[in-house]
Amino acid sequence: MDSIDAKAMAAQKLTEGATLEELRDAARDLRALAPESALADLMEAKIERVLRSVSHFRPRGSRTPLPPNCVV
């Protein structure tokens, strides 16, 4: 996969429903191709926001991880 393909896939995952696992994979691919990728920064920020917002719905003290197929 080249940089252009990775960017296109990452942009698609950000704008359409994607699972957390898909977002993580796309961000990891971008980092491998361009360590200073701003698009990877955006993807990682979205993952963090989702995890923070979902944590409000889990019981306090719960350590149950989100399923990797959780669509965001």
CB contact burial 20-49 (16+ within 10 A = b; e otherwise): bebbbbbbebbbebeeebebbeebbebeee
pLDDT, tens digit, 9 for 90 and up, residues 2-46: 788 888 888 887 778 788 888 899 899 999 999 999 989 998 998
Q: Which residue has the tokens 């429903």?
A: 17
When pLDDT is cut at 50, 70 and 90, the band that residue 54 belongs to is confident
**Residues across the chain:** 72
* Ranges of each domain in the chain: 3-55
pTM of the model: 0.67
Distance CA 21, CA 62 (A): 21
Q: Return the pLDDT at 41.
A: 93
